[in-house]
Amino acid sequence: MSSSILLMKITCMTMMMCMILGLPQTLAALTCSQVETKLAPCVAYVTGIVDAVPQPCCDGIKSLKNEAATKADRQIACRCIKKAAKALPGLNMDALVGLPSKCGVDLPYNLGPSTDCDKIE
């Protein structure tokens, strides 16, 4: 291989690495698996198995709020919650919607099924 072709390949690789490393940290990083793990302790409450919101549930909601720092993350979290809620048998929707206030967490979106996740900022 000639040295000019090798140099060109190295330059292209370097530029690509710079572009990748220079991406803004605002890209969505949250996954449904993470959302479900954080909210798993809430299942007993929102399905009526227990009467009081467990502290690990509130911890999960607080953690979710802190980790969903970008618009994209909040929209992903919303979609994941809606998807999980549809799949949860025996869900008390009022209990789900009221979770943030019961935990003293001000979420910038409603946990209900009518929430338009695309409109979350």
pLDDT digits (tens, 9 = 90+) for 44-88: 999 999 999 999 999 999 999 999 989 999 999 999 999 999 999
CATH number at residue 95: 1.10.110.10
Q: How far apart are CA 88 and CA 96, in angstroms?
A: 11
DSSP secondary structure code for residue 118 in this structure = G
CA contacts within 13 A on the Cβ side of 19: 6
CA separation for the pair 17, 40 (Å, rounded): 38
Count how many domains the chain has: 1
For residue 60, being part of any structural domain is answered with yes
Q: What is the dihedral of CA 81, 87, 89, 94, to 10 degrees?
A: 30
87-120 pLDDT tens trace: 999 999 999 999 999 999 998 888 877 889 999 9
**What is the C-alpha separation between 58 and 100, in angstroms, rounded?**
8
Q: Is residue 20 part of a domain?
A: no
The boundaries of the domain holding residue 88 are 28-119
